[in-house]
Structures are given as structure tokens and as C-alpha cells.
A = this chain, B = another copy of it.
Amino acid sequence: MIDCGEGTQMQLRRSKIRFTKLRAVFISHLHGDHCFGLIGMISTFGMLGRTAPLHVYAPEAFEPILQGQLDFFCKGLEFKVEFHAVDTLKNDVIYEDQSLTIETIPLEHRIPTCGFLFREKPRPRHINREMTDCYEVPLCQLNNIRNGMDWTTPEGIVIANERLTTPADPPRAYAYCSDTRYIPTLHELVAGVDTLYHESTYAEDNLSRARLYWHSTARQAATVARDAHVGKLLLGHFSARYEDETCILDEAKQVFENSWLTNEGLVFDV
């Protein structure tokens, strides 16, 4: 989960995602609309009997605040909340497992803020079942073959992996750029990602306001997307002054065609 504003636990319930699937929360910065929902969500997990640890990645100033809330409101919690302080000024890998790395993306907002870049690791190749059947490859070898091994038949003939498999799907990448003013070099860090979320609080009609409050316009978000050659751009964090965000979408599309407005509950493929 990236960011956790007030009401996140209600949205999570509506989305029908099982609460137990959530292992980590990444907080981009300590404004209320990005973190006020965490303590309520943790409390609810506690009441539902969660036992698996929950990892929280956030700017270090959040640790004493969260700990104070946990001590007061969540006595006897039966799972660990493990806090990981994030340096918002560095582009670092802060998480890695078998299938994924997660990097911080330094951003420029009124307070320390970073984005997060999720990179899938190279994925296994697809078995060509007709060929493995034909060469009578035993089931226990299929994982090795997915991972690129050739197959040697009992007669000693080597079958090249390329004959037994088709190429893996390309690994996917998703970059989430939370509240930030326009950063002309940001495209270097998010180059080539499949999906880029970039805030666009305003359209260009409010460019000076965007500068004042350290936010971005739709044109600026789309410029990052274009310069980074991303697959698609998701726009969000719209100012309440726009009753209809079509102007934001239109402005972005003029710079980067594959732009989309996000909204509560919408689902996008990465």
C-alpha cells in the first residue's frame, strides 16, 4: 500500500482486498491526507486478530508519532508494526524480495517527500508444453527449465532451452510520484516504467499557485511522462477547485497522449 489517508480502511474493505494480503505500507510524506488512516487501519487489523508483522516505510519523523499512537490505542496488539525510516533525499533500494525491488524517488514538496518505484525482477520463461511432453521432461524439472536451463535427455542429447520455452513477460515497473513540484530531471529516475503516477493538483491556469504550494500542473506531469517514455500516465491529487477535471486530462494529453484521470476505486493494470 502506498500512502494511507483517512478512510483507507473503509476503501480497502470496499475494494474486497483481503486485509491479510497487505504486508507493507509506504508513506510518501507526513501530510494528513497521506498518513492519517494508518492508526485506524492498524487498530482494525488488531481487532481482526492479525498476527503477521506489518512493515511501515516512512520519513523518520513519523516513528515517534506512530509509536505514541500504538502505545496508547493499540495495547496488546498481537502483531508487530515494524518501522523502517526512509531517507527521502536519496534514490535507494529500500526493499527487495524474490520478485520485486522498491526504490525511493526524491521529490520536492513543502516537507520531506519521496515517491516509490516498484520494479519487478526478470520473470521466468513460459514452458512450451508440447515440446516438454515430446522430450518427456519430468515435472520436477519444469521450474529449472522456466529459469533457463537446457534439458539433457537420458540418451545424452542436449535440448536448448529456447526449444522448450517461449520468452518471459517483460518485468513491469510502476513509479508513484506523490506530492511534488515539477522536477525537470525526474524523468531520469522513472525512465521507461510501464505506469507512472504523477500528481497534478492543478492545470496550467494555476501555475503560480502550483509553484507556491509545491505542487504540479497536468502539463508538468505529462512532461515527465513524455521525457521518461513511460507506458501510461495516471494523474491524481486534484485540487477541489476543479469541479470537472476534464481540463486537467486534456492538458496532459496534449503533451502525453496515454494519460488517465484516477479516482477512488478505479483499477489500472500496470
B72 and A6 within 8 A (CB): no
How distant is A178 from chain B, measured CB to nearest CB, in Å? Answer: 16
Tell whether A36 is near chain B: CB-to-CB under 8 Å.
yes
**Contact for A36 among B30, B39, B61, B68, CB less than 8 A:** B39
Number of copies: 2
- Count contacts on A: residues with CB < 8 A to the other chain: 18
**Contact for A68 among B9, B10, B32, B65, CB less than 8 A:** B65
How distant is A53 from chain B, measured CB to nearest CB, in Å? Answer: 20
A43's nearest neighbour on chain B, judged by CB, is: B32
Tell whether A124 is near chain B: CB-to-CB under 8 Å.
no
**Contact for A40 among B6, B65, B72, CB less than 8 A:** B6
A30 and B68 within 8 A (CB): no
**Contact for A7 among B7, B31, B32, B68, CB less than 8 A:** B7
With A32-B39, A32-B40 given, name 6 new contacts (CB 8 A): A6-B6, A6-B40, A36-B43, A61-B72, A65-B68, A65-B72
Some 22 contacts from A to B, beta carbons below 8 A apart, are A6-B6, A6-B7, A6-B9, A6-B10, A6-B37, A7-B7, A7-B10, A30-B72, A30-B73, A31-B73, A32-B39, A32-B40, A32-B43, A32-B73, A36-B39, A36-B43, A36-B73, A61-B72, A65-B68, A65-B69, A65-B72, A68-B68
